[in-house]
Structure 1
C-alpha cells in the first residue's frame, strides 16, 4: 500500500474524518495548546505512555496501544508504528492494534474524558511529595487500560488520573477538553505548509539530490542516509518550520508517495526520489536534531562531491551486506569528501547517535562515561583518507553486525565481527606506527564543531559544542572510519523495533567503538603513560574485558606533543584550551576556575555572585560533598536576579564507574565516592529530573546547605525551600520556562522538554 501525503492526504489525515464541529471550539486554537502545555511533556516520541502521542491531531486520533516500542527481550522484531510514517488515519492505525481515546463508548464517555475526570477530582497537595505508591519514571508499569478496562484501573489507581502525578489542568482547560470530547472530539488541524520561499528552496534541494547520472545518484543516496534524522531548516525560512528528508515513488512537483521502509537504507523496491516534507506536530526537544541548509551549504556540497573526475561504474544495490559496510557501498565517492562533510557538522552527527531520536535506553548509554569530550582527526592525517592501499586493506574489516537478527546466532555473529574489528585495530596500530608521531596538527580545527562535550544522564545523553566541565576521565578521538561506523551502527542501521539479537549486537559493537575512540586518543599521550590510563579506564572486571575483546594498544610509538609527564592528560587539556580558545573551547570559570573570579564576565552582577557561589560545588568528589548522593542525573537551577533577568543552569551528576565495558550490572560498577557535579549555563538535557528556583541573593545560602547536607533528611529541607515539585502550583510555568530559555538563547533548538524522568524528591 502506498501513502500520498503532504497536500491532500495530510489534510485528510489530520482532520480525522471528523464530523461537523461545534461552532465555538477549535482543535488548533483551543485543544492542541492545552495538550502542548500539559500533555506533550509525557506523550511524545516512542516513549509516550501507551504510544499515545498528543503532539498533533493525527496522534490524538490514532489513540493508544498496549504494544510497547521498547522491549529488550522480544525474539521477533515488532511492526514499526512511526507516526506520520507507518500508517495514516484512525482506521489504518486501528488495524495495527491502536484503540481510540477520543470516541465515546455507548453511554460511557471517551477514555480520555474519564482519565481527565479521575485526575481532576483528585488534585495533589501543593508542592508536597507524592504518595510513594505512585510509581514514576521508566520503571512504571504501563497498563494502557482500554475503554472497557477503565473502571478496574480507576479502582486500583485512584490517584493516577491524567495528567499523571503532576499539577493538573486548570478548571477552564478541563472544561474546554470535556466539551470538546463530548461534542465528538472534532479535529480541524491542517498540515504545516511551506512558505513560498521555502517551497522554492525545497525544489532546489530536491533537484540536487535527484540529479540524473550514476555519480549524482550515489551522492544523493549517501546524503539522504546522512540526513534522514535531521530536522532541516532554511537560514531564511519561517521560524518554527522544519523539514525531513524521505524517499518517495514520485518526483518533485507531485504529492509525496512515501516509501516507509524500516531503515533508510533498506531496499526501496522501486525508483527512488528524495523529497523534503514538513515536520508535523509539536516540536519536542528530545527528537529535535537540527541541520541548516543554505546557498553556502549547497555550494559546499557541490565543491566536495562534484569536483574532480571520480566515476561510478555501477550503482550498488541494497541488502544486509550493503547495510553492514557503507565503506564498501559508497567506496566510489572520495573518502575525503565524505569525511569533510561529516566534520563540517560534527555536532549534528554526534547528536544522532549520542542524543538520538529513540528517546530512551540505558542499555545503549551505559557503554559511555557520564562525561567526556570528543575531538576529531584532521583529514590530512587520516590514513583512510590519504592512503589508497591502507583504505583497500581496511574497508573489508569495517563491516558492522546487526543485519542478521537470528537469536541463536548472536554469539557467533558477535565473535566474527569482533575479530574483524580487532584485525582492523591491529592494522591501524601498525600502519600509524610507521607515520610521524602525532602532533597538534593531527587534530581537526576547521570550525566550532571541532570540540564537543558529551554528558550522559543514565538513560539519555546530550551533546554540546565546546569543552564543558573539569578535565574528564576519558576523551574520544574520532577518525573517519570510527565516526562513520558509529553513525551507521547507532543511527542508520539501528531499529528500535528490532529483536533482542539486533539490539544486543548493536550494543556490543558500540563497546568496541568506544574502545577504539579511547585508543585513538591515547596515541596523543606519552607512550609510557598509556597503559596506566587504560588500567584506570578498565578497572576490576574491565581488565578481563580488555583481555577478552580488545586489541592491544600501541604503547611504544612516541607522541610529538610536549606534555608534563606528571599529568600529561591534564596538561594536554590546558594546552588544548589555550590553542583553541578562539575556536569555541568555551571558557568555563564555574567548573574550571583558575583564579579568584569563578564567574563569567559581563553578566548581571547578581548572577556573577551566584556563579561564584555555585563554583564551590563543582569538581569535588562525592566523598567530600555528600549531597551528590541525593541528587538525580540532571537538575535545573533557575536563578532570578533582582533586575528581573533569570538564568538557567544545568547541575549534572557525573557518576563514576570502575569501567563501562559490560552490557548488564552497571550498578555493580558504580564508584559513588568519586561522583562529581558539573554546573553550566543552559539546558543540557531533554529530560530534566528536578528543578530548583532560587533568588540570586539566596544562592550562597543554597550552596551552604548543599555543602552541609549529609543525608536524605537534610537534602529534603533544601527541596522544601527551593524545589519545584511535580505538585507545585506553578510547576508548568517553571517547567516550560526552560523551553523559553532555549528560545531566548538559541531559538532554532527550542522544543518541549520531557518530564517522564522528573523525580519525586
Structure 2
C-alpha cells in the first residue's frame, strides 16, 4: 500500500508537470490551467505560533538558509523584482514587476515600503504584488508546482552553474539588467527561455541538504514565524523612552519631532542591556499610544503632516533580517537619555507654538526648529556624527549613483567646534536667511525644471555664503576663528570627530577616523551644512520621486559639497585656495566655474595659521590629524591585524599600487587570510580602489572625467563596505607571492591570473562555504554593526 501511494503521488506529480508544460503557450492559458488544477489563488495564513515545532523549524533550519543564500541579493529597494526575502512578511508579499530605481520617470510613483505602505498580504496584492509561494490548494504537489520559489530552486538543480572559470555573455550582472520577474503562470516560458537562470541567479546552486530543507518546507506550505518579542528588560527600556518622547509640553513635543526626523532611519538598540544579540528598533509615528500595538502613520517623508492632532512616537521592533547596506546601529541608554535632556529640556528657553507641517517650513530644519537651541541641535548630531553622515549613504537608498557621483572617491571630514563663541546667537542669523536656505524637497517629488532650479538655488547659496562670511567677520576679530581650533576635537573622547568617506561608484561607506594617505579633498562641516545635507539626502529625499526630483537633489548637493570644501580651504593661504580649486575642478562647466570663482570662494582673509612649507594643504592635514590624535580609532589600521609583523609589512606594500594599474582592480575586494597560527581566526581585509576624477560635477558622463593615472588603492584591516565585488582567499604563507603578483598587475590578463590563484569567483564550488566563513567571522568581530552582505555587485571576471 505504501509503495502504491508513493507511485500514485509520483504519477500525479508527473502528469501535472506534463499538463503544465503543454498548456503554457501563453501566460493566460497557464493561469487557467493552474486554476483548474489547484483552484483560484488567494493569500494563505502562513504565520504560526512562535512556540510551535513548525516555527522552531523555520527559525532554526529554514531562515538561516534564506538569509545566507537569498537575502544576499533580495533586500532593500534594489532587490530584484522588489522581492524582499529578509522577513517572513516580505516573502509572503512576493514580487512586483515595477522597478523602484527608474531614473527617467516623469512622475513620482506610489511607495511600496515594507511594513509601512501595506499591513497584510491581501493589501499588497491590491498594489500589484504577486505571490512567489503557492496560494492555491495547499498540497505538496501544488506547493512545489504552483510556487515561483519552488520552481526556481528546481530549475537550478536541473541546470547547475558551471563549476569554474568566467560565465559567458549570456549572463547579465549589470544593475540595470532586464529583470524577468515571472509569476508562476509565466514560469514555464521562463524555464524554456532561461534554463540557466534558476536561483540563486548567477551563483552556485545551494547544497543538496539545503535544497531538501527548503523544498520540504515549501511542500508543507511554507509555514513561517515572526520575530521573537523583546525581552522584559527591553520592554521596560522602551516604556521609559516612549514616556519621555510623548511628554505633552511644547518644548518636549518639538524636541521629540526633531529627534524623530533625525533618527527615523536608524536601528536603535539598548546597549546597557546584556543580551546575546541585541534587538533593534525603529522610531516611528503611530496613531496608537504606548502600550498598544503600533499603527504606523505612513507619510512619504518624516516631516509630512501626520493628518491627525494626536499621535505618538513609538519604538517598533525591526522585523527584517539585518542587512549591512541599511544597518545603522544607534545605541540608547541612560547616559544618552540624560544627554538629550541636558541639551533640549533642561536649558532655560521657551517654545510658544509648534512649527507647521507645510513643506515651506517643515522641509527646512533651520526654520522649523528655530526655537530649539542651535548648540543643542548641533551637539545632538555630532555626538553620533558617523550615524548622521552614514544616513546620507544608507538611509533612503541602496543604489545611489545619481546622488553619489557628486562626491570624490575618498575624502576626510572634519567638523566645526560646537563650543565656539557666539554659537547660541546663530538662530537670529538663520532666520534672516530663510529665503536663501530653501531646499528642493519643498517642491515635493515631481520637480520638472532641474536646471532652472539649480540656477535659482546657486544664487540663493551664493547670497547665504556671503552673508555668513560677513556675519563671521563681525563676530570674530582678526580671523581668530580661522585656526585649527575651529575644528572639533571630539572633546578628547569622541571618535566621531573625524570621518573618512569612501565612494564605491553607486554606493559608499562612512567610517570613523582618517583612513589612508592624505586625500585630494577634505570637508569642514558646520551646523547649518550638516543639517541641510540631512534634509536634502535623508529626510527630504524620495527614492520613489521622479527624474527631476532626483536630479535637482544631486545638483543641489554640488552646492553643499562645495561649501564643505570651501570651509576647509579657508584654513589655507588665499593663493593656495585658488590652486586647490583649480585642481579639484578641472574642465568644470562654465556655470560652475563662475560659481566657484565668486560665491563659493568669497573669503579672501588669510587664516591665523603659520605655514612653513610650500605644501600648506599637507601641513594643514597633518596639524588636524595631530589635533585629533586622541580620538583616532585603530579599527582599520593594518597594525591591528593578528598576522605576524612580517606579514603586516607585506600587506602595507599593496598600498603602492597606483595609476592605471590601480584602475584594473574593482571598487571593493574582500580578502580572507588564514593565519599560520591555527589557533587564530581568519583575518579579514578590504582592498578599496579610489577612482580619480578631473571634477565630479558633470552629470551622466563620469567616464570623460576619469583620471586613471591618479587612481590609487587603500588596504584596510576588516571589512569595509556592503557590496563586495571580488573575494580573495589565501594562507598567510602565500602572502609574499600574492603581494608580488599584485604589484605586477598591469593588464586585465595579469589580473585574471591573479584571480586564478586566489579568487573565489561566482562559479567556485566553494563559494557558499567561503561566504559562510566570511559572514560568521564578520559577525564575530563586530556583532552590533555586522549585517548580511549584498552580492548583487559581485563581478564576473
The answer, yes or no, to whether TM exceeds 0.5 is yes
- Number of the residue aligned with 2:462: 422
Shift of 1:616: 1.9
Closer, same or farther: CA 637–543 of 1 in aligned 2, 3 Å: farther
Matched residues in 1 for 2:171 and 2:454: separation? 41
1:194-205 alignment runs, 5 A limit: 194-205=230-241
The alignment's C-alpha RMSD in Å is 2.3
**TM-score, length-normalised on structure 2?**
0.88
- Number of the residue aligned with 1:166: 203
- Number of the residue aligned with 1:633: 667
Pair 1:343 & 2:382 matched: yes
Structure number, greater radius of gyration: 2
Aligned to 1:259, which of 297, 304, 307? 297
Shift of 1:472: 0.3
Matched residues in 2 for 1:521 and 1:586: separation? 24
Aligned to 1:60, which of 91, 104, 121? 91
Aligned to 2:401, which of 329, 353, 362? 362
Matched residues in 2 for 1:59 and 1:379: separation? 43
The superposition leaves residues 313-365 of structure 1 with CA deviations (integer Å, 9 ceiling, x where unpaired) of 11112021123311111100011100011111101000000343411121111
Aligned to 2:552, which of 494, 505, 511? 505
Matched residues in 1 for 2:165 and 2:157: separation? 17
The superposition leaves residues 245-269 of structure 1 with CA deviations (integer Å, 9 ceiling, x where unpaired) of 0101111112212111111111001
Matched residues in 1 for 2:70 and 2:88: separation? 13
Q: Give yes or no for contact 1:109–1:182 (8 Å, CA) kept in 2.
A: no
Matched residues in 2 for 1:18 and 1:730: separation? 35
Closer, same or farther: CA 619–423 of 1 in aligned 2, 3 Å: farther
Shift of 1:18: 7.3
- Number of the residue aligned with 1:100: 131
Aligned to 1:234, which of 248, 257, 270? 270
Q: Give yes or no for contact 1:104–1:111 (8 Å, CA) kept in 2.
A: no
Matched residues in 2 for 1:302 and 1:161: separation? 54
Shift of 1:581: 1.6
Matched residues in 2 for 1:485 and 1:83: separation? 27
Q: Give yes or no for contact 1:453–1:468 (8 Å, CA) kept in 2.
A: yes
- Number of the residue aligned with 2:601: 553
- Number of the residue aligned with 1:181: 218
Closer, same or farther: CA 200–90 of 1 in aligned 2, 3 Å: same
Closer, same or farther: CA 17–279 of 1 in aligned 2, 3 Å: closer
Shift of 1:573: 1.8
Shift of 1:558: 1.0
Shift of 1:236: 2.6
Pair 1:91 & 2:122 matched: yes
Pair 1:247 & 2:294 matched: no
Give secondary structure in 2 for the equivalent of 1:275.
strand
Shift of 1:542: 4.9
1:499-578 alignment runs, 5 A limit: 499-542=546-589, 544-547=591-594, 551-554=599-602, 556-578=604-626
**TM-score, length-normalised on structure 1?**
0.92
Matched residues in 2 for 1:118 and 1:476: separation? 51
Pair 1:126 & 2:173 matched: no
Closer, same or farther: CA 543–65 of 1 in aligned 2, 3 Å: same
- Number of the residue aligned with 2:773: 737
Shift of 1:408: 3.9
The superposition leaves residues 235-286 of structure 1 with CA deviations (integer Å, 9 ceiling, x where unpaired) of 1333231011010111111221211111111100111200001101211011
1:388-403 alignment runs, 5 A limit: 388-403=427-442
Q: Give yes or no for contact 1:542–1:658 (8 Å, CA) kept in 2.
A: no
Closer, same or farther: CA 19–345 of 1 in aligned 2, 3 Å: closer
Matched residues in 2 for 1:540 and 1:371: separation? 20
Pair 1:51 & 2:82 matched: yes
Structure 2 residue runs without a partner (length 5+): 1-42
Aligned to 1:218, which of 228, 246, 254? 254
Matched residues in 1 for 2:771 and 2:268: separation? 26
Shift of 1:740: 2.7
- With 460-469 and 317-326 compared, the bigger mean Cα shift is at 317-326
- Number of the residue aligned with 1:653: 689
- Number of the residue aligned with 1:318: 357
Q: Give yes or no for contact 1:353–1:490 (8 Å, CA) kept in 2.
A: yes
Q: Give yes or no for contact 2:266–2:330 (8 Å, CA) kept in 1.
A: yes
Matched residues in 2 for 1:328 and 1:206: separation? 26
Aligned length: 734
Shift of 1:29: 2.9
Matched residues in 2 for 1:614 and 1:305: separation? 47
Give secondary structure in 1 for the equivalent of 2:775.
helix
Shift of 1:565: 3.7
Q: Give yes or no for contact 2:367–2:431 (8 Å, CA) kept in 1.
A: no
Q: Give yes or no for contact 1:742–1:749 (8 Å, CA) kept in 2.
A: no
Matched residues in 1 for 2:607 and 2:93: separation? 59
Shift of 1:398: 1.6
Closer, same or farther: CA 611–382 of 1 in aligned 2, 3 Å: farther
Shift of 1:406: 4.2
Shift of 1:382: 7.4
- Number of the residue aligned with 2:36: none
The superposition leaves residues 190-215 of structure 1 with CA deviations (integer Å, 9 ceiling, x where unpaired) of 23311101101101111111101111
The superposition leaves residues 272-303 of structure 1 with CA deviations (integer Å, 9 ceiling, x where unpaired) of 20000110121101110110000000110110
Pair 1:440 & 2:484 matched: yes
Q: Give yes or no for contact 2:727–2:759 (8 Å, CA) kept in 1.
A: yes
Give secondary structure in 1 for the equivalent of 2:467.
helix
Matched residues in 2 for 1:206 and 1:163: separation? 42
Shift of 1:104: 6.0
Q: Give yes or no for contact 2:439–2:536 (8 Å, CA) kept in 1.
A: yes
Give secondary structure in 2 for the equivalent of 1:492.
coil
